[in-house]
Structure 1
């Protein structure tokens, strides 16, 4: 990662943990679909087509479309927010998750799913630079590929093994978040998605200036 990436690593780890948490909550409450891991939903869509399960096909396709919409909306919001890009995107993510928690609380998990997907999509705009995501915080395939690349570089003398550590940390953050989300959701239901919303709002209050600096 670049120096700028390292300065934002704490924020990235928090967002990866939130993504894992939210994805696990969704997986346990909306019929084993994902709100962050779109490769999984794409596979679910394909298998459902093969099985002729058209309701599941429509649901999976809708989640994928909403994720893309969230990414697009996040980038539009970020482009218009300027220096307040990161602050505003985190606020949007927190509010979407808070609204999803309310819907879970009133027994409408299917209605909460679109808000959770939009939140995860918009989170990917936080680390956008020059039209590209510097590193994803809601999916880890890229991070795992980077780990493999760094290990190969270290083995051939073209790099050092510690260069893989930030990517490994991102993966661990997502997994730890997912474990917490699954444990809490299985015990208390989807309302626990309020926890990452509170975490994001607390981060804005406590680390506001530092978070804003990530947009510079």
Structure 2
């Protein structure tokens, strides 16, 4: 029995490659979210501020402004600026690196190593260095086959997941809507690991984050360059 055009298209090499690219990209997203969650938990427990969760820092900054707490205002104000700068520098460095993940991930690893080895008394410097690194992580993957992803923040992913769930309940069957839960799951798992590591090693636990960043950079060498160019910011 001959196959119809629709069945043939579903099993065509193009469709199979696209599906594989999607799985690889989402696996990389999950791993990067583990890195973000791990680093955020370590930083929060060690210095008392979020490293990648800028919504939380923004709320705490607003409270500091209302209370007139100059120390909080300066520390968290600079943290938010460092995160924005990290995102901008991540895009610039990704372009300079030919839109390959390895150079970017090695730079992130170096920044996290620096944050881990700084004296804990220099809390603000530790905070800003780690925040800068987490801002840059977002340039490693921006989208996977048209699906927008966030690596260091999951509020948007949960919101998109919830709205898509509502559409699914109404009978709308949009493809890949459930994949928005991937970064949330990765960040949750990473935060659990980060909390456990911080309880044993303190701020030095950021060395594990640095090692994971370098490892993911090396793993990215196995991802075809054309796929990486598709994942990273244009």
Shared fold by TM > 0.5?
yes
Q: 1:125 aligns with which of 127, 139, 149?
A: 139
Contact 2:36 2:190 in 1 (8 A): yes
Partner-residue secondary structure (3-state), 2:45 = helix
> 1:33-84 CA distances to partner (integer Å, 9 max, x unpaired)?
1110111111111101111111111101000000000011111111222243
Change (3 A) 1:190 1:142: same
Structure-2-length-normalised TM-score: 0.81
May I ask how many residue pairs the two structures share in their alignment? 209
Pairing of 1:56-71 with structure 2 (within 5 A): 56-71=72-87
**In structure 1, what is the Cα distance between the partners aligned to 2:147 and 2:210?**
23
> 1:180-204 CA distances to partner (integer Å, 9 max, x unpaired)?
1112212320100111211222233
Contact 1:17 1:175 in 2 (8 A): yes
Mapped pair 1:197 → 2:210: yes
The runs of 4+ residues in structure 1 deviating greater than 6 Å are: none
Q: 2:188 aligns with which of 164, 170, 175?
A: 175
* Structure 2 unaligned residues grouped into runs of 5+: 1-17
* Structure 1 unaligned residues grouped into runs of 5+: none
Change (3 A) 1:143 1:5: farther
Contact 1:11 1:211 in 2 (8 A): no
Structure-1-length-normalised TM-score: 0.87
Change (3 A) 1:211 1:90: farther
Contact 1:96 1:119 in 2 (8 A): yes
